[in-house]
Structure 1
Amino acid sequence: MMLSLMKNEFKKAWYGRKIWIFLIVLFGSLLLGTGLTLLADSFAGSVLLGQLFLVLGFTTLAQMINIYVVIQMTGAVAGEFRSGTIKQLLIRPVSRHTLLFAKWVTTLLIGLGLYIAMSLVIYPIHMILFNGDSSLSWGEGFLTTLRFMLYSLPGMTFYFTLALLIATLTRNTAITIVVALIPYFFGGIFTTLNEFFEWPKWIVLTHVDLINIFELQMFSAPFDGLWQSVLFILGHSILFLILGHMLFKKRDVI
């Protein structure tokens, strides 16, 4: 039953919430960025932008994926409350917990798939076009891209799970997207404040930018180790998922 629900959710995401359109936008943005980087490098007479292509390209496209996954989760919960299709799912002989968990797992797999697809394209582009004056080998480039992807997944999970919680609470698509994305765009404030104060390390938003903290080391680590921050993020995600399930179980859909 779980696999059937996930298959159904993926079909709705692909045909109803138009994953294929986002893929066109995502890879169109990647090609545009590649062209602009080549153009800028040719005028500047420098390989600086080329060397930064993987970092800037990945982090920019990762933001697009994270926002899109939040919208996917919002549509899967709040959107179905609004359209009334949630009633058709609840008449099935399946618990609400299983139904909501199927939506969560499907959204996670969609986000993971988008990250993998993006990584498999941006990695060879960087190595072929922008690695001429660098000592970075193909193996090292692959490991760097893999680390970028792995560092991005906990934050993505946190934000779309937060969207799930808000969606079950409000059942409103617009409110869910706005409320879920406010911490996404302004959470970096706490990462900066962590440079000057002790208290921000206990706020989960201080931890979610794992690439800039642990890979690029642009900010001080809130906790001593990477895994401590990862567990802190996942702990909040699990809490949001549990609260979302509790709210979803009690929700009246009539």
Structure 2
Amino acid sequence: MIMALMKNEWMKAWYGRKIWVFIVVIAACILLGTGLTVFLNSLDNGGLTGSLFLELGFPLLAPIINIYMVIQVSGAIAGEFRSGTAKQLLIRPVSRTKLLVTKWFSMAVLGILFYLLIAFVLFLINMILFGSNVSWTDGANTMMSLVAYSLPSMLFYIMLAVLVACLTRSTALTIVITLIPYFFGDIFTILLNFYEWPKWVIFTHLDLVNIYYMEETFIQQPFDYAWQSILFIGLHGVIFLVLAHIVFKKRDVL
């Protein structure tokens, strides 16, 4: 039953929410970025080598995937309340808890697959065109590290979108409210250089790639280790999902 519900969600995402359009857009971005990098390398001897294409490209595309997954979640939950299809789902002999788990889990799996696919494509381009002085093993390690450091943020946004969608039942409000961290996260990151309290604000932890992987000198680490920030993000995500399930089980769908 769970797999059937997940397939149903993926089919609706593909045909109803136009995943193929997003794939075309991402492919165009990758082709444009690759062409621009080749052109710049032709102007500069040495240019961009090693794993730099991958390290620069993936962090630029990951936020686009995060935003798109928020749109997908808002459509899967809030959009179905608006269109009335949520009522048709709830008359099935399946619990509300199982329905909501199916929705957010299928979107999380979809987001992870997008991450892995795009990271793999960038890895291949990097190794074939720009990775002359790095081994394939090191390149693969870089690819997996970038995915691992980026996934907690993507899952956080999905779980937050689930809660907001259940509370508001509005696609537009879900997208706007969920993406607030993109606009205010940097503020708390800057404040962390002067105060101690911002480390307890979840927004400070969401850019794990720059905070812990890239180790940017101008960014203060909120915790000593990346796993601590990941646990902090995970704790918030679990709270969001618990609240979402409580609201979803009690909300009237009429």
TM-score by shorter chain over 0.5? yes
CA distance in 2, matches of 1:186, 1:60: 18
Tell me how far 1:186 sits from its aligned partner.
Answer: 2.7
Cα displacement (A) at 1:131: 2.0
Match of 2:47?
Answer: 47
In structure 1, C-alpha distance between the alignment counterparts of 2:163 and 2:6, rounded to whole Å = 19
Q: Secondary structure at the match of 1:187?
A: helix
Counterpart in the other structure of 1:103: 103
TM-score relative to the length of structure 1: 0.95
**Corresponding position of 2:80:** 80
Change in Cα spacing, 1:206 to 1:81, as seen in structure 2 (3 Å) is same
Could you tell me whether the CA contact under 8 Å between 1:204 and 1:232 is conserved in 2?
Answer: yes
**Of 21-30 and 44-53, the range deviating more from structure 2:** 44-53
Matches within 5 A, 1:5-44: 5-44=5-44
Please give the secondary structure, in 1, of the residue aligned with 2:77.
helix
Equivalent residues in 2 for 1:35-184, closer than 5 Å: 35-48=35-48, 52-132=52-132, 134=133, 136-184=134-182
Asked if the contact 2:51/2:139 (under 8 Å) is kept, the reply is no
Q: CA deviation at 1:68?
A: 0.5
Paired residues, number: 252
Q: Does 1:200 align with 2:198?
A: yes
- TM-score, normalization by structure 2: 0.95
* Aligned-residue offset at 1:33: 0.5
Asked whether the equivalents of residues 40 and 47 of structure 2 are also in contact (C-alpha less than 8 Å), the reply is no
Deviation (angstroms), 1:227: 1.1
Q: Shift of residue 226 of structure 1? A: 1.3
Give unmatched runs, 5+ long, in structure 2: none
Alignment partner of 1:238: what SS?
A: helix
Instruction: Give the Å deviation of 1:49.
Output: 7.6
Say which SS state the counterpart of residue 94 (structure 2) adopts. coil
Distance in 2 (alpha carbons) for counterparts of 1:23 and 1:194: 37
Fraction of identical pairs, as percent: 56
SS of alignment partner, residue 222 of structure 2: coil
CA offsets, 1:90-126, max 9 Å, x none? 0001111110010010000000010111011000111
Separation in 2 of the partners of 1:3 and 1:62?
Answer: 27
Q: Measure how far apart 1:185 and its partner are.
A: 3.4
Q: 1:221 deviation in Å?
A: 1.8
Identify the residue that residue 230 of structure 2 maps to in structure 1: 230
Root-mean-square deviation (Å): 1.4
Which whole-Å deviations, capped at 9, do the CAs of 1:189-229 have from their partners, x for residues lacking one?
21222122111100111111111111100123211111111
Query: How far does residue 26 in structure 1 lie from its aligned partner after superposition?
Result: 0.9
Aligned partners of 1:62 and 1:106: how far apart in 2? 18
How many Å separate the matches in 1 of 2:76 and 2:28?
Answer: 26
Gaps of 5+ in 1: none
Distance (whole Å) between structure 2 residues aligned to residue 60 and residue 123 of structure 1: 14
Q: Distance in 2 between matches of 1:173 and 1:83?
A: 11
Q: How far apart in 1 are the matches of 2:243 and 2:51?
A: 44
